[in-house]
Amino acid sequence: SNAIAQRLPEVFENPDKFDPSRWDAFNIAKLPKYSFIGFGAGIHTCMGESFAFMQVRTILSVILSTYELELITP
């Protein structure tokens, strides 16, 4: 379960403490395999996963069709 996997003290320091700054230098490559599952997996998959991805695609399409983007090089 996602709720249990992300509260393992051997993987995450102070897992039950609310600390948004823990994600500032987050590097998923340093975690043990399968210790971070953003939308869950298997029968525990988040019901909103497909909706979230649809929202991202919609927002990106609106931004890209509304604004003219250009590459700025230093």
**Rounded to whole angstroms, how far apart are CA atoms 57 and 48?**
14
First to last CA, the chain: 46
pLDDT of residue 63: 93
Contact 52, 14 (CB under 8 A): no
pLDDT band at 1 (very low <50, low <70, confident <90, very high): low
Share of the chain above pLDDT 70, in %: 96
Determine the pLDDT at residue 74.
78
At residue 57, what is the residue type? R
Instruction: Tell which phi-psi region holds residue 14, choosing left (phi > 0), alpha (psi between -120 and 50) or beta.
Output: left
- pTM for the structure as a whole: 0.47
